[in-house]
């Protein structure tokens, strides 16, 4: 009798389990039916939304961005005389030129010219001609390296001048041109420096190689070169720190970084010294220190949109003998321009 009961109980359990299994399978099947196909077609309205829109360039003109520098020249613009200048007018010219930061030697040369030959086409034109004559350097920027090497642009300068921002802007410009760019976060002095560069890399669609705070900057550059070579990248932009922990020498460190960046497969084709235009003549003395250590090939002059006095461009080229290749006129990606003397001088002096 007991055996019979056991057989009945087992049979009931088997039936219940089978029913449960059937129920679960049918639910799963139903769930699968509601899932969208993996490659569902995009609805038309969404396709319309992602179509590229025409870009609206809302950047103000160079005149407005250089408003502070331009206002310094207001007084010479107001001297409408053509021909010889009175001693008072020469004093005004001298004061304006010195305030504009062009430097003593450029100011003296221009005054001498005005005293001797006058200003047959007006004072603003005489100054324009003189400034343009002293801004005649070759400003070409090298983008290619020797066969099989990866071109590197190295950025040096003291802290806060705008190195990381300039790299971000240039990365954006280069990727817009269709180039593939690798950023090397060689400022390992503080973690925030790599985060800042990461933001720019994301914005520009550039690759980035970074390491933890305190890591050896040389090894970051070395890894970036390896990555660039493996991925056939067009350009490596290398950031560096503007300061060092106590007792270590920034310039020695830079010379070391440069050697690493210039070792195969890398080749440093441009070393940009970044200078803050708002620091005026101080920028010049800072620059002198970097020149020997870093073998600088071009200057990037930032913050010309601020309280800077544009004449510093002239003083820098005259004193350092190194061309200004880019100027920063704001904090956005578009606010970096290849330096063009005629457009620059016109925006300071045109009526």
Structural contact between residues 180 and 233, judged by C-beta atoms closer than 8 angstroms: yes
By beta-carbon proximity to Mg ion, the closer residue of 145 and 274 is: 274
Give the shortest CB-330-to-ligand GTP separation in angstroms.
Answer: 5
Q: How many helices (H) does the chain have, and how many strands (E)?
A: 15, 8
Give the shortest CB-47-to-Mg ion separation in angstroms.
Answer: 41
Q: Binding marks (x or -) toward Mg ion, 78..117, rule CB under 5 A?
A: ----------------------------------------
Give the shortest CB-267-to-Mg ion separation in angstroms.
Answer: 23
Sequence-distant (≥ 6) Cβ neighbours of residue 173 within 8 angstroms: 333, 336
By beta-carbon proximity to ligand GTP, the closer residue of 271 and 302 is: 302
Sheet of 207-209: strand order equals 207-209, 181-184, 235-238, 150-156, 266-276, 298-302, 324-328, 336-338
Give the shortest CB-195-to-ligand GTP separation in angstroms.
Answer: 11
Give the shortest CB-165-to-ligand GTP separation in angstroms.
Answer: 3
Identify the bridge partners of residue 208 per DSSP, sorted by sequence position. 183
For residue 259, cis peptide bond before it (omega within 30 degrees of 0): no
By beta-carbon proximity to ligand GTP, the closer residue of 76 and 167 is: 167
By beta-carbon proximity to ligand GTP, the closer residue of 97 and 171 is: 171
In the list Mg ion, ligand GTP, none, the entry touching 303 (Cβ below 5 to 8 angstroms by class) is: ligand GTP
- List residues near ligand GTP by CB under 6 A: 157, 159-165, 187, 193, 242, 274, 302-303, 305-306, 328-331, 335
Nearest to 102, CA basis, from 349, 310, 330? 310
- Phi first, then psi: give them for residue 86, nearest 5 degrees: -75, 160
What's the DSSP call for residue 84? P
By beta-carbon proximity to ligand GTP, the closer residue of 71 and 159 is: 159
Give the shortest CB-276-to-ligand GTP separation in angstroms.
Answer: 8
Give the shortest CB-253-to-ligand GTP separation in angstroms.
Answer: 13
Any idea which residue has 């990866």 for tokens? 150
Q: Say how many Å lie between the first and final Cα of the chain, rounded.
A: 118
Spatial distance between the Cα atoms of 210 and 220, rounded to a whole number of angstroms = 6
By beta-carbon proximity to ligand GTP, the closer residue of 73 and 189 is: 189
Query: Which residue number places its CB atom closest to ligand GTP?
Result: 328
Give the shortest CB-307-to-ligand GTP separation in angstroms.
Answer: 10
| H/E run at residue 330 | none
Q: Which residues in 188-207 contact Mg ion (CB under 5 A)?
A: 193
Token readout for 48 is 């319309």
By beta-carbon proximity to Mg ion, the closer residue of 130 and 275 is: 275
Any idea which residue has 């970096």 for tokens? 336
Q: Determine, following the binding rule CB under 5 A, whether residue 164 of this chain makes contact with Mg ion.
A: yes
Spatial distance between the Cα atoms of 237 and 152, rounded to a whole number of angstroms = 6
Token readout for 311 is 């004449």
Spatial distance between the Cα atoms of 299 and 135, rounded to a whole number of angstroms = 13
By beta-carbon proximity to ligand GTP, the closer residue of 149 and 155 is: 155
Residues that bind Mg ion (CB under 5 A): 163-164, 193
């Amino acid at each position: 009798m007991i055996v019979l009961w056991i057989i009945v109980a087992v049979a009931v359990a088997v039936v219940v389990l089978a029913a449960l299994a059937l129920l679960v399978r049918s639910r799963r099947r139903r769930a699968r039916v509601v899932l969208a196909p993996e490659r569902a077609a995009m609805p038309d309205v969404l396709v319309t939304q992602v179509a590229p829109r025409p870009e609206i360039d809302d950047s103000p003109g160079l005149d407005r961005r250089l408003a502070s520098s331009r206002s310094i020249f207001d007084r010479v613009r107001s001297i409408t005389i053509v021909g010889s200048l009175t001693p008072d007018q020469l004093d005004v010219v001298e004061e304006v030129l010195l305030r504009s930061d062009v430097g003593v030697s450029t100011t003296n040369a221009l005054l001498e010219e005005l005293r001797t030959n006058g200003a047959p086409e007006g004072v603003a034109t005489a100054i324009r001609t003189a400034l343009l004559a002293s801004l005649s350097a070759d400003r070409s920027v090298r983008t290619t390296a020797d066969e099989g090497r990866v071109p590197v642009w190295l950025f040096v300068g003291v802290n806060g001048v705008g190195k990381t921002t300039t790299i971000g802007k240039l990365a954006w410009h280069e990727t817009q041109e269709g180039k593939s760019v690798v950023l090397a976060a060689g400022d390992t002095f503080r973690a925030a420096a790599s985060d800042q560069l990461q933001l720019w890399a994301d914005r520009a669609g550039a690759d980035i190689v970074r390491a933890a705070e305190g890591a050896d900057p040389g090894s970051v550059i070395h890894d970036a070169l390896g990555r660039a070579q493996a991925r056939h990248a067009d350009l490596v932009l290398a950031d560096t720190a503007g300061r060092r922990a106590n007792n270590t020498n920034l310039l020695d460190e830079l010379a070391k970084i440069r050697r690493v960046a210039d070792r195969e497969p890398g080749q440093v084709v441009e070393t940009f010294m970044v200078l803050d235009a708002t620091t005026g003549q101080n920028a010049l003395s800072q620059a002198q220190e970097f020149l020997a250590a870093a073998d600088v090939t071009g200057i990037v002059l930032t913050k010309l949109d601020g309280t800077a006095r544009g004449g510093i461009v002239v003083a820098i080229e005259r004193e350092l003998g190194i061309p200004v290749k880019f100027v920063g006129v704001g904090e956005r990606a578009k606010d970096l321009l290849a330096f063009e003397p005629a457009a620059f001088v016109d925006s300071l002096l045109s009526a």
